[in-house]
Structure 1
Amino acid sequence: MSVLPSLRAEIAAATDRLMATAADLGDADVTAPSALPGWSRGHVLTHLARNADGLVNLLRWARTGIETPQYPDPAARAAEIEEGAARRAAEHRADLELSAARLATAIDELPQPAWSAMVRALRPPPHPVWYVLVRRVRELELHHVDLRAGYTPDDWPEAFVLRELHDCLACWPYGRSTVGAIVLEEPAREWRQLGEGPVVRGTARDVLAWLTGRSAGERIRVVYEGPRAEGDRLPSPPPWLTMPAPANLPTAPPDTYPEESP
């Protein structure tokens, strides 16, 4: 048994939660600002729909062997989001529903051997196509919070929190950050020698929300250690998601991912 069935279930559940939130948004609501600078809620909803279609392209690439980019280029991606942002709430809901259905169909139709095919997002590194499912859950969970419509990091499923924190640390710019260490209090785990700076302590959920820019770190504690220890200011986290996937992922879908929890 591979990780694919559980990731499919996560996508379905996260989509249902997003659609429930979208159902309560009226026309004025979708034009209101989101948590992302310069984006309305309509921008976020449009991005989620176009992301689903972009991931369908990668699944088609894996199925046919014909290179099909997720997006033609960054400018085309931005133009599609801008073009769709001002639509009425009902149009956004229909687009979300139809694009999610297209993605679900593409996932269901991909033959088992093709799940090991390598594909590429707008940025390197290339990754096996099974990781597309991880990326979709990430988009749904983080951007649901960005809607500022009642869904918060406290609502994130634990499986998502632990997996996403694992991947954040797998992509960490070791030695080049202002965070010296991360110490999790729940579950207990720590990462040292991350960079020059203080120790950041908190639960996995609170640390992930801060690392991804979905909180200001109000529930995180800062500890300065060593002879030059001073102050209690939370440093800025390094840029999040500088790469779409960790390097050196297993090519075939693993039984579980990550193999070890944070």
Structure 2
Amino acid sequence: MIDHAHDLASVHEATERLLTAVAALDNAAGARPSRLPGWTVGHVLAHIARNADALGNVLAGRPMYVSAEARDAEIERDAPRPLDVQIDDLRASHAGFRARAAEPADWTRTVELRNGVTDSASRVPFRRWAEVELHHVDLGIGYELEDLPAEFTEREIDFLADRFDGHREVPSTALRSDGGRTWTTGGGAPGDPVAVEGSAADLLGWLAGRRDGSALAVKGGTLPALPPL
């Protein structure tokens, strides 16, 4: 069962970690390349802030973004800002999301995200947690997949394994972490089952498109090529 209150507390903790890390950067850091192709550190910070606004919109029953074009334009607009402005925006957008989430609401209701995707309102805080944690890693400032909270890593693997379950381009795949956790995914593409083993961080990195999977052990075939998220 999803505990949205627990996840909201985790979002706050993750955001505080992010703010502390970003505050230690010099002002030139915003223009440096991030780990996301074509995006600077400033682009990633702008996206994290605007995503908080967007998920607040979702909780309020409004469209997540006005349009894909408007989303992209806002990120481009905000990316070049000085670091202190980025930090203030991250803090303010986080406060806005928390305030929206604190309003009395039916957390079992269905909400709409981007591109017609729907989900339970109770899962929105975890989606925000994922945005903060994974994009903190994407900044390339010393926070790695291995530094993520173990609970988050396992739950995000749960989420992504479920997302690719039955996908027509992904063969049946059994995942196993070196901690003994197992997952299954794929199954929509022809081919023999594939077993993939490795650390939880490496499994998450592969599923989330943050690592190429070269550190994973593969049995029964080749490492499946995953479609974009």
- Alignment correspondent of 2:199: 203
Q: Provide, for residues 126-175 of structure 1, a one-character-per-residue CA deviation record: whole Å limited to 9, x for no partner.
A: 22222110110110111111000001100111111111111112111526
- Alignment correspondent of 1:254: none
Distance 1:234 1:170, change over 3 A: closer
Shift of 1:179: 4.7
Structure 2 portions without partners, runs of 5+: none
Distance 1:126 1:178, change over 3 A: closer
From 92, 106, 127, the equivalent of 2:86 is 92
**Alpha-carbon contact 2:4-2:126 (below 8 Å) kept:** no
Identity of aligned residues (%): 36
Amino acid of the residue matched to residue 154 of structure 1?
Answer: E
Structure 1 portions without partners, runs of 5+: 62-67, 226-232, 241-262
From 123, 129, 154, the equivalent of 2:146 is 154
Cα distance between partner residues in 1 of 2:142 and 2:53 = 26
**Alpha-carbon contact 1:117-1:129 (below 8 Å) kept:** yes
SS in structure 2 at match of 1:130: helix
Shift of 1:178: 4.9
Task: Indicate the structure whose relative CO is greater, using CA pairs within 8 Å and at least 6 residues apart.
Answer: 1
**Alpha-carbon contact 2:31-2:80 (below 8 Å) kept:** yes
**Alpha-carbon contact 1:30-1:88 (below 8 Å) kept:** yes
Cα distance between partner residues in 2 of 1:116 and 1:73 = 26
Amino acid of the residue matched to residue 67 of structure 2?
Answer: D
Cα distance between partner residues in 2 of 1:133 and 1:175 = 25
**Alpha-carbon contact 1:73-1:122 (below 8 Å) kept:** no
**Alpha-carbon contact 1:211-1:238 (below 8 Å) kept:** no
**Alpha-carbon contact 2:161-2:207 (below 8 Å) kept:** no
Amino acid of the residue matched to residue 128 of structure 1?
Answer: S
Amino acid of the residue matched to residue 224 of structure 1?
Answer: G
From 128, 131, 135, the equivalent of 2:120 is 128
SS in structure 2 at match of 1:115: coil
Equivalent positions of 1:52-91 (< 5 A) are 52-61=52-61, 68-91=62-85
Cα distance between partner residues in 2 of 1:50 and 1:193 = 32
Shift of 1:59: 1.8
- Alignment correspondent of 1:22: 22
Asked if residue 165 in structure 1 is aligned to residue 157 in structure 2, the reply is yes
Cα distance between partner residues in 2 of 1:201 and 1:136 = 28
SS in structure 2 at match of 1:238: coil
Shift of 1:203: 2.9
Amino acid of the residue matched to residue 88 of structure 1?
Answer: P
Cα distance between partner residues in 2 of 1:69 and 1:193 = 30
From 236, 248, 251, the equivalent of 2:225 is 236
Cα distance between partner residues in 2 of 1:193 and 1:214 = 19
Task: With the length of structure 2 as denominator, give the TM-score of the two structures.
Answer: 0.90
Q: Provide, for residues 177-210 of structure 1, a one-character-per-residue CA deviation record: whole Å limited to 9, x for no partner.
A: 3554233132332427634364321233321111
Distance 1:90 1:137, change over 3 A: same
**Alpha-carbon contact 1:145-1:214 (below 8 Å) kept:** no
Distance 1:181 1:25, change over 3 A: same
**Alpha-carbon contact 1:179-1:237 (below 8 Å) kept:** no
Of structures 1 and 2, the larger Rg is shown by 1
- Alignment correspondent of 1:248: none
SS in structure 1 at match of 2:176: strand
Distance 1:5 1:178, change over 3 A: closer
- Alignment correspondent of 1:228: none
Q: Provide, for residues 224-245 of structure 1, a one-character-per-residue CA deviation record: whole Å limited to 9, x for no partner.
A: 36xxxxxxx54432323xxxxx
Q: Provide, for residues 42-64 of structure 1, a one-character-per-residue CA deviation record: whole Å limited to 9, x for no partner.
A: 00000000000111112222xxx
**Alpha-carbon contact 1:179-1:200 (below 8 Å) kept:** no
**Alpha-carbon contact 2:49-2:90 (below 8 Å) kept:** yes
- The number of aligned residues is 225
